Structure 1
Amino acid sequence: MMSNLDGVRWGSATAAYQIEGAVDLGGRVPTIWDVFTAVPGNTTRGDTGAIACQAYEKPEAMLEAIEWLGLETYRFSVAWSRIITGPGGEVNPEGVAYYRRILQELRDRGVAPVVTLYHWDLPQWLQERGGWASLATADAFVHFVRVAAAELGDLVDDWITVNEPFCAAFHGHLSGLHAPGIRDEATALRAALMQLHAHGEAVRALRAVDAGFRVGLAMNLSDLEPASDSPADIAAADRADLVENRLFLHTLLQGRLPDGTVDYFGADAVDAAVDGIDVARIAEPMDFIGINYYEHNVVRAAELGTDLVVRGIEKLPVPEPRSANGVAVRPDGFTRVLLRVAALTPDLPIWVTENGIGLWDYVGPDGTCDDVERVAFIERYLDALETAIAGGAKVEAYYFWALMDNFEWPFGYQLRYGLFYTDYPTGTLMPKASAEAYRAHIARGSTSIDETVRRNGAAA
């Protein structure tokens, strides 16, 4: 029987700082995350990415996991700090050699690589010169992009310029939960638009190297609903939607700031944020749009507010089922987000560049990791994906986050997202029940997860 999922490419994803470790090896220079994690209290138990999954020194485990799953495509990021080592734009041959090896290994296994160029690990020397508040950082990014394309482009067809500019801007520069740990709304707005500006310039730079490259951006979009039909709650949900969604989605696709931007941020802040940026040039045509989906939130108005990013709102606690860190499991929200994007740009292919759930996974006495919640999550979210495609969403690829447990930003190593259980002291990877389920789905195409798990005797 034909399925709406037929033709979707199946993949998984990781990011450099979260898996590579070896922060002092191979010519790599420090990043904002190296500095941020060195400050006590910024991460769980002071965890850092210094060792992570040891994917720089021992990439074989990662590559074997990719092959075992039968992935058709794998998304990972290239660390800016391993390729460019200073203000002079110097190229590090050791970093280039490492990524060429990974890319060749993937291609030898029949896996299509997708390279993310910025996944939050800004070189520290750039932060010291203004970071994402400075046009010079965008210029430096374009230089890095040109180098990466020239050095790796014969092994890469698909590129993602920037990952989740919302998180890098507003959690890095307003909530302070992410590196570089700044807490200033005007700086956050400037960082948001600077990343979008850098994206537009990077798209043009990539195509100048090879017009055949496929290029997109990965943004996280949240599904939001007001807590009631009161005008105050509706307005609160709209404010959250402006900051978390429309500021990125509409600017990227339409080349203009969304309605309400000046009313919310203020004319002076907006003028400062766009200084030196041609907003219209942000909307450079893309070959696909990457959507990362995790969050559904119910929003109500609150005079003082408890949200760390959006003023005057409160996000209500979500009921079960939810992730270990309280994120709602709402596959219907996933469908709505995909259909929203499709309605804005019906002809642009959508790639689900991240989707997953964080759990307190553990290895039981029998030596297995029976992550039944993640197995159920995959089943429900792939059903939601099929519903979105039936509704008109032109989804071409799906990347489960993450391939293996890794350094989860402020949560450190406590929260686990992986299909593979990572034993951090050794770097050993062990497939969880969810890996068995996802592997079966990939192998059998449109056959349901429940059926394939039962057939293989894995836990469901």
Structure 2
Amino acid sequence: MAKIQFPSDFLWGTATASYQIEGAYQEDGRGLSIWDTFSHTPGKVANNDNGDVACDSYHRYEEDVALLKKLGVKAYRFSIAWPRIFPQGTGEVNEKGLDYYRRVVDALLEAGIQPAVTLYHWDLPQALQDKGGWANRETIDAFVKYAEVIFQAFDGKIKQWITFNETWCVSFLSNYIGAHAPGNKDLQLAVTVAHNCMVAHGEAVKRFRALGTEGTIGTTHNLYWFEPYTTKPEDVAAAHRNRAYNNEWFMDPTFKGTYPEFMVDWFREKGVEVPIREGDMETIAQPIDFIGVNFYSGGFGRCKKDEGLFDCEEVQVGFAKTFMDWNVYPDGLYKVLSWVKDEYGDVPIYITENGACYEDELTAEGRVHDELRADYYKKHFIQCHRLIESGVPLKGYFAWSLLDNFEWAEGYKKRFGIVYTNYETQERHPKDSFYFIQKVIADGGFDA
């Protein structure tokens, strides 16, 4: 039987996000975020769920750190809630907010776990949204000030920094499709938000360098592998547009300082322009130390006039599906990260999220037998190994997610965790997938 063996310095981790796990939404001076507003608006979230309590990690972080230690991970990716630090987005620093994250970071370091921090995982202070949110360039300045406070408060303790999580979701999913906060449906707004977020990323990287902050900094894009159903030129072009919507639109500015021209032309035909100011593209393309990639799925498409934004129809080819109805496509991970290396060079890559949602049942003994999730991880770990063996500079992997949590617009009915959360009692129960990953980390690999 073939042995899948990972390098000894491969960074194994798991990940969460502040609004999804913390709760305590009105405690210790925290201001409201756009997700507080969105989730309290009837009909926006399944079952009208919200993140008021979530997993109560604000009070139970020590329990969660103990789970991380039991899992054996070397790193934990979590995000800092901007409204805990600046309740109004700008102004006076809320020291109680900083103190909470100091406690979390110190607990992690004491447990021998490296903190990997995301500065922006979608919880924009509502006070800034009231002034236009990411469509307002003043939000860029507010973000850089917030980032500076965090850099200085944790310099030397946090060594891995991620500016933004999934700028596609912040922009298109939230401001064109309207499924996430703030829930707008305006293509020009979405393109503007995407651009301004990338400028804010670049400005934060510049500030990080200027401060001489210790550690490495990058950003995370959610990449999707979409390929043509046939070799017909129209199918190839349609699938490429659909893929570039997630991939090139964000990766090209990050690494090349340009937007893909064919996509600029496509948006222009829709009456949409990118609001580029002098110096923006140089700022966006600030050199970064690594790229974070969140990968969940992929698919096949063909040209169909007036289908969606890009005249592209997805073709079902028999993939297994998760409970989110997403295709299980492990080979897509190999293809998309190989494409990253081929297109953008040998930048170090971290898979900052990868995981699956399934219907989980807690047994009377307090166990969850999630064979499908464990199998999902195993198949994606094999692709990670293929990538490393193929010379792709994949340096680490963060499983999504440590805990079942508030799954954004899906509320609490969709579970991604390797630990089951009983939302009535807040008890945590490691699932079989937890023990599978625990053994992979302990053994440095597994039998394929």
**What TM-score results when the alignment is normalised by the length of structure 1?**
0.93
SS of aligned partner of 2:68: helix
Aligned length: 446
Residue 195 of structure 1 pairs with residue 197 of structure 2: yes
Given candidates 81, 100, 103, the residue that maps to 1:98 is 100
2:294 and 2:90 map into 1 onto residues whose CA distance is 34
Aligned mates of 1:155, 1:411 — CA distance in 2: 34
1:328, 1:128 → 2: CA distance?
A: 37
How many angstroms does 1:5 deviate by?
4.1
* Native 8 Å contact 1:116 1:163 kept in 2: yes
- Is 1:442 aligned with 2:441? yes
Paired residue for 2:290, among 288, 291, 297? Answer: 288
Distance in 2, Cα, partners of 1:364 & 1:350: 38
Match of 1:16 among 15, 18, 22: 18
SS at match of 1:218: strand
User: Residues 103-160 of structure 1: CA distance to partner in whole angstroms, max 9, x if unpaired?
Assistant: 0000000000001000011111111111111111111100000011111223211100
CA deviation string 1:47-103 (max 9, x = no partner): 111110000122122111111101100000000010012254210011000000000
Match of 1:218 in 2: 220
Partner residue, 1:457 = none
Which residue pairs with 1:456 in the alignment?
none
Shift of 1:24: 0.8
The verdict on how the C-alpha distance between 1:186 and 1:276 changes in structure 2, with shifts beyond 3 A counting, is farther
The more displaced of 196-205 and 259-268 is 259-268
Deviation of 1:425 (Å): 1.8
Q: Give the aligned partner of residue 3 of structure 1.
A: 5
Would the alpha carbon gap of residues 318 and 113 (structure 1) be closer, same or farther in structure 2, given more than 3 Å must change?
A: farther
Match of 1:208 among 203, 207, 210: 210
Q: Which residue of 1 aligns with 2:265?
A: 263
Give the Cα separation in 1 of the matches to 2:365 and 2:304: 48
Residues in 2 aligned to 1:2 and 1:227: alpha-carbon distance in whole angstroms: 32
Counterpart residue type for residue 199 of structure 2: H
Give the aligned residue type for 1:300. R
Tell me how far 1:366 sits from its aligned partner: 4.1
**Could you say what secondary structure the match of 2:41 adopts?**
coil
Q: What is the correspondence of 1:228-267 to structure 2 with a 5 Å cutoff?
A: 228-266=230-268
The 8 Å contact of residues 176 and 182 in structure 1, kept in 2 or not, is answered as yes
CA distance in 1 between partners of 2:96 and 2:229 (Å):
53
Q: In structure 2, how many angstroms separate the alpha carbons of the residues matched to 1:149 and 1:255?
A: 25
Matching residue of 1:332 = 331
Cα shift at 1:358: 0.8
CA distance in 2, matches of 1:173, 1:318: 30
Query: Which 10-residue stretch deviates more, 389-398 or 104-113?
Result: 389-398
1:59-138 equivalence runs, <5 A: 59-86=61-88, 88-138=90-140
**Structure 1 counterpart of 2:143, one-letter code:** F
Residue of structure 2 equivalent to 1:454: none
* 1:35 corresponding residue in structure 2: 37
Q: Which amino acid aligns with 2:388?
A: I
Deviation at 1:3, TM superposition (A): 3.1
Distance in 1, Cα, partners of 2:89 & 2:434: 42
- After the TM superposition, which parts of structure 1 deviate over 4 Å for at least 4 consecutive aligned residues? 267-272
1:211-250 CA deviation, whole Å, 9 max, x = no partner? 4320000111000011222232222112112211101011
2-side partners of 1:195 and 1:344: how far apart?
A: 23
Distance 1:318 1:427 in 2: 40
Structure 2 counterpart of 1:368, one-letter code = R
- Aligned counterpart, 2:417: 418
Q: Which moved more, 1:429-438 or 1:205-214?
A: 205-214
Give the Å deviation of 1:268. Answer: 9.3
| Secondary structure at the counterpart of residue 412 of structure 2 | coil
Deviations 1:329-365 (A, max 9, x none): 1111000111111112333111110110111111134
Contact persistence 1:159–1:215 (CA under 8 A): yes
Residue 301 of structure 1: aligned partner: 303
Give RMSD over aligned pairs. Answer: 1.7
Query: What whole-Å deviation, never above 9, does each CA across 1:269-297 have from its counterpart, x for those lacking one?
Result: 66452246611221111111101101212
* Structure 1 residues without counterparts, runs of 5 or longer: 451-460
Distance (Å, rounded) in 2 between the aligned partners of 1:350 and 1:301: 32
For structure 2, which runs of at least 5 residues remain unmatched after alignment? none
More deviation, 322-331/13-22: 322-331
Distance in 1 of aligned mates of 2:370 and 2:89: 45
Superposition pairs for residues 270-281 of structure 1, below 5 Å?
271-275=273-277, 278-281=280-283
Counterpart of 2:396?
397
Taking a change above 3 Å as real, the CA distance of residues 268 and 368 of structure 1, as seen in their structure-2 partners, is: closer
Code of the residue aligned with 1:343 in structure 2: it is D
Give the letter aligned to residue 61 of structure 1.
Answer: E
Cα distance change on mapping 1:211 and 1:390 into 2, 3 Å: same
Q: Within 2, Cα distance between the matches of 1:17 and 1:184?
A: 25
